[in-house]
Chains A and B, each alone.
Chain A
Amino acid sequence: MELEFTTRTTFDKVGTRPPRPDGTDKVTGRALYGADLAGAGMLVGKVLRSPHAHARILAIDTSRASALPGVKAVVTRDDFPGIGPDGKVKGEVEENVWDVARNVMARDKALYEGHAVAAVAATSTAVARQALKLIDVTWQVLPHVTDVDEAMKPGAPLVHEDMITAGMDPAPEEPSNIAEYTRIEMGDIEAGFAAADVIVEQTFRTEAAHQGYIEPHACVASTSEDGVAELWCCTQGHFSVRDMCANILGMDLANLRVTSSEIGGGFGGKTTVFLEPVALLLSRKSGRPVKMTMSRDEVFRASGPTSSTSITARIGATRDGRITACDASFRYQGGAFPGSPVSYGAVCGMAPYDCPNVVLDCYDVVVNRPKAAAYRAPGAPMASFAIESLLDEIAGKLDIDPVELRLRNAVKEGSSSVYGPTFGAIGFVECLEAARDHPSLEAAPGANRARGIAAGFWPNYGGQTSVTVNVNNDGTVLVSLGTPDIGGSRASMCLMAAEELQIPYERVKAIIADTSALGHNDTTGGSRVTHSAGLATIEASRRVIDTMKQRAAALWDIDVEAVVWDQGCVRPSGANAGDHEPLTFEAIAAMAPSTGGPIAGHAEINAEGAGASFAVHVCDLEVDPETGRVTVLNYLAVQDAGKAIHPDYVEGQYQGGVAQGIGWALNEEYIYGSDGVLQNPGFLDYRIPVASDLPMIDTVIVEVPNPGHPYGVRGVGETPIVPPLAAVANAVSRAIDRRMTETPMSPPRILAAIDGSP
Chain B
Amino acid sequence: MSLQHVTTTVNGDAAEFLCDATETLLDALRDRLGLTGSKEGCASGDCGACSVMLEGRLVCACLVLAAEADGREVETIEGMAGTGELHPLQTKFLELGALQCGVCTPGFLVAAKALLEEHPDPDETEVRYWLAGNLCRCTGYDKIIRAVLETAADLRGQ
Chain A residues with CB under 8 Å of chain B are: 17, 19-20, 22-24, 26-33, 35-36, 38, 126, 211-216, 262-267, 293, 295-296, 486-488, 646, 648-649, 651-652, 655-660, 682-684, 688-694, 696-697
Contacts and interface: CB of A to CB of B under 8 A. Distances in A.
Contact of A690 (B20, B43, B95, B135): B135
A215 B39 CA distance: 8
Given A29-B38, A296-B42, A656-B138, A488 B97 contact: yes
Contacts of B141: 655, 659, 689, 691, 694
Contacts of A211: 137
B97 to A, nearest CB: 3
Contacts of B95: 19
A217 to B, nearest CB: 12
B140 A655 contact: yes
A36 B35 CA distance: 9
Contacts of A649: 97, 100
Given A29-B76, A214-B41, A296-B42, 6 more contacts: A24-B90, A27-B90, A27-B99, A264-B102, A648-B97, A692-B129
Contacts of A293: 40
9 contacts: A38-B34, A267-B137, A296-B43, A487-B100, A488-B97, A648-B97, A652-B138, A656-B139, A691-B129
A742 B86 CA distance: 47
B152 interface: no
A651 B143 CA distance: 9
A659 B133 CA distance: 16
A691 B132 contact: yes
A27 B140 CA distance: 18
A264 B101 contact: yes
Contacts of A267: 137
Q: Which of B22, B30, B44, B146 has the most CB of A within 10 A?
A: B44
A260 to B, nearest CB: 12
Contacts of B90: 24, 27-28
A428 B132 CA distance: 35
B140 A214 contact: no
Q: Which of B109, B132, B141 has the most CB of A within 10 A?
A: B141
A692 B145 CA distance: 10
B97 A214 contact: no
A214 B137 contact: yes
Given A29-B36, A682-B42, A265 B101 contact: yes
Contacts of B38: 29
B134 A691 contact: yes
B123 interface: no
B74 interface: no
> A-B pairs with the 7 shortest C-beta distances?
A29-B37, A264-B103, A648-B97, A26-B102, A655-B140, A659-B140, A683-B46
Q: Which of B43, B80, B97, B131 has the most CB of A within 10 A?
A: B97
Contact of B86 (A20, A24, A216): A24
What interface size band does chain B fall in?
A: 35 or more
B47 A28 contact: no
Contacts of B106: 27, 29
A684 B94 contact: no
A28 B81 contact: yes
A651 B141 CA distance: 12
Nearest to A296: B42
B93 A27 contact: yes
A731 to B, nearest CB: 18
Interface in B62-97: 76-78, 80-81, 86, 90, 93-97
B104 interface: yes
B44 A263 contact: no
B44 A682 contact: yes
Q: Which of A23, A216, A487, A689 has the most CB of B within 10 A?
A: A23
Contact of A215 (B78, B101, B109): B101
Given A655-B140, A690-B132, A683 B100 contact: no
Nearest to B89: A27
Nearest to A660: B137
Nearest to B106: A29
B136 to A, nearest CB: 7
A295 B47 CA distance: 13
Contacts of B37: 28-30
A648 B134 CA distance: 21
A697 B42 CA distance: 26
B142 interface: yes
Contacts of B144: 691
A652 B105 CA distance: 14
Contacts of B76: 29
Given A29-B36, A659-B140, A694-B140, A262 B102 contact: yes
B127 interface: yes
A488 B132 CA distance: 24
A655 B143 contact: yes
A648 B100 CA distance: 10
Nearest to A23: B94
A22 B97 CA distance: 12
Contacts of B22: 126
A657 B42 CA distance: 22
Given A214-B135, A682-B46, A28 B39 contact: no
A29 B135 contact: no
A486 B41 contact: no
B44 A487 contact: no
B102 A216 contact: no
A693 B137 CA distance: 13
A27 B105 contact: yes
A486 B101 contact: yes
Contacts of A24: 86, 90, 94
Given A27-B94, A36-B36, A691-B145, A215 B41 contact: yes
Nearest to A687: B46
Contacts of A696: 124, 142, 145-146
A49 B145 CA distance: 40
A215 B38 CA distance: 12
B49 interface: yes
B36 to A, nearest CB: 4
A683 B44 contact: yes
Nearest to B91: A27
B47 to A, nearest CB: 6
Contacts of A660: 137
Q: Which of B46, B94, B104, B142 has the most CB of A within 10 A?
A: B142
A338 B123 CA distance: 49
A697 B141 CA distance: 9
A26 B139 contact: no
A16 to B, nearest CB: 12
A440 to B, nearest CB: 14
